[in-house]
Amino acid sequence: MGSSPAEGLVEHWASAWSSRDVAQVGSIFTDDCVYEDITMGIVNHGKIELETFARGIFEAFPDFTIHLTSRFAAAGWAGAEWTMSATHKGDLPGLPATGKRFSIRGATIFELQGEKIRRASDYWDMVTFLTQIGVMPPG
């Protein structure tokens, strides 16, 4: 599917998150990685923080998946558009579980280092998420 090793790494990123396996997610990042969820205002420094973040996501969304819709890579950088889907089954800080399913579009920009991801920054729409899980009224 990927036309370059870097695009293959982006595909591995999506499959690692979709596997809901914390160790698999951590395995594709450098030890000094930075993982940002821009929408949530969360910055994880290093694999330990990233794996703790992933564990929390998987506890709140046990059927979490990322489906890539497009990707590119060039000179140590990559980008991807994706759809994130899951059911909100676990509490998040300030947001009790709703039991509702969501599916939202987003994008990630990656800084690559060799065959690993050094930095990833996720961008997605909080309003759509909150609307789909029933916390915010439509419209």
Query: In this predicted model, what pLDDT tens digit does every residue of 3-58 receive, in sequence order?
Result: 788 899 999 999 999 999 999 999 999 999 999 999 999 999 999 999 999 999 99
Q: For the whole model, what pTM was predicted?
A: 0.93
Q: Residue 124: what pLDDT?
A: 98
* Pairwise pLDDT comparison (20 vs 94), residue with the higher score: 20
Q: Which fold has domain 5-81+107-124?
A: Nuclear Transport Factor 2; Chain: A, (3.10.450)
Flag whether pLDDT at 2 surpasses 80.
no
Flag whether pLDDT at 1 surpasses 70.
no
Instruction: Count how many Cα atoms sit within 13 Å of the Cα of residue 46 in the half-sphere of its side chain.
Output: 2
Query: Domain residues of the chain, as ranges?
Result: 5-81+107-124
List Cα–Cα distances, 52 to 23, 47, 48, 115, in angstroms.
10, 8, 6, 22
